[in-house]
Structure 1
Amino acid sequence: MTGWWRSNALALGALVVLVPATYAALTWNEWSPVLQNSGSQAITLQPGDEVEYAGATIGPASAEFTELPDMPAHSRVVTVTLHIDPDDPPIACDKPQLRELGGSGRTWNLREDLGRDWNPDLKTFCDREVEQPYELLIDYLVPDDASGPFVVELKSVEGWPQFVSAVVEP
């Protein structure tokens, strides 16, 4: 070793340790709130079953392929029915997403523009104002090659970090 390397060996050793440690600390500081606020613990709801989630009973869930007037060519509509029995206070949730179990794990958001007749009793999300049991009826537009099985992911602030992953197969 030359004189410069030898006289700065301690500082260089500290850099080798402190630079990765600083990077790890900064990354953890930025990502821990995001990871903490995302659903990370799935409660699997098998077909025909019920689960307790955020004080409510969720399930059973079912799905079928349906024809709706405004669906585009080369696509299919997956209509999911999910039973909700709210507790006191009733559960509130985000609009559920549909995710493909196999393949590339594609996800779809619900669609309300496919020509289904409007019905004030049909719900597409957990309604905090409804205290009696009800069903969600949710339409998802998927490509022709999506065949299932799927999962419907239901998330509620009261249930974080858990979420319901209801398995459905049309």
Structure 2
Amino acid sequence: MTIPTPPSAPAEDAALQTPRPRGWWRRNGIALAVIAVVAPALAGFLWWDGWNAFYGHGARPVAAIAADAGGTVRMSGTTFGPIQTGIAKDTSGMNLPDGTTFHIAIVDVDPQEPITPEGTDPADVRFVSCTAPVLVQQSTGRQWTPLRAEVGVPYSSDEPETCNSQAEGPYKLVVGFVVPDDVEGPFWLDVDPAGDGRFIRFSVES
């Protein structure tokens, strides 16, 4: 007895049984998983690199140290403060823009300990250095840097604007700021000892 040959599947059924190509998401699953892991890490690195370039290694001060009840701060072997502030009443001979006032700040600086290692040649001993103080409006964060020659105030070595790293005794920083009449306090007076990563903040009421 002859066994009949089974009928072949219809052409349309054969087409349905052919595996369909995977979708785009499945084909690229591994690449997408890698991106999901790498992208946040790359973003974090770029953020850190930018932050480090701007603030790292003491490039910019990031931590404010407020003056104590006596109005002083000790940092890097030096005592800063107290301070005296006020607005110049006699501005004759000065080149002030209309609608501005000249705010004056005086900061006592008393270097007690050198920042150079022990055993350093006495001629090479250095004390703390600092940039010129900055006036900051507390309510807005707006800042003013000192002006001197620009408004007609002559330079004086007895009234420095920045710390004297060679001074072994007390001295005073004397700075002036041109501030618009409509700007109101309170303010901060910020002093940045170079390379520390911290800065000193004095409160100024007006």
TM range, normalised to the smaller chain?
0.7 to 0.9
Residues 1:84 and 2:71 aligned together: no
Q: Mark the CA change 1:46 to 1:62 in structure 2 (over 3 Å): closer, same or farther.
A: farther
The number of residues matched between the two structures is 168
Larger CA Rg, structure 1 vs 2: 2
Q: Mark the CA change 1:64 to 1:161 in structure 2 (over 3 Å): closer, same or farther.
A: same
**In structure 1, how many angstroms separate the alpha carbons of the residues matched to 2:85 and 2:69?**
10
Higher relative contact order (CA 8 A, sep 6+): 1
Root-mean-square deviation (CA), in Å?
Answer: 2.2
Give the CA deviation at 1:13.
2.1
Residues 1:115 and 2:184 aligned together: no
Residues 1:163 and 2:188 aligned together: no
Query: For structure 2, which runs of at least 5 residues remain unmatched after alignment?
Result: 1-19, 115-126
Give the CA deviation at 1:47.
7.4
Identity %: 27
Matches within 5 A, 1:3-152: 3-4=22-23, 5-36=25-56, 37-45=59-67, 48-66=70-88, 67-68=90-91, 69-70=93-94, 71-89=96-114, 90-102=127-139, 104-113=140-149, 114-116=151-153, 118-152=155-189
**In structure 1, how many angstroms separate the alpha carbons of the residues matched to 2:38 and 2:107?**
52
**In structure 1, how many angstroms separate the alpha carbons of the residues matched to 2:86 and 2:69?**
13
Q: Mark the CA change 1:47 to 1:134 in structure 2 (over 3 Å): closer, same or farther.
A: farther
TM-score (normalizing by structure 1): 0.87
Contact map agreement 1:64 1:169 (CA 8 A) in 2: no
Q: Which structure has greater strand proportion? A: 1
Query: For structure 1, which runs of at least 5 residues remain unmatched after alignment?
Result: none
Secondary structure of the residue aligned to 1:157 is: coil
**In structure 1, how many angstroms separate the alpha carbons of the residues matched to 2:174 and 2:32?**
63
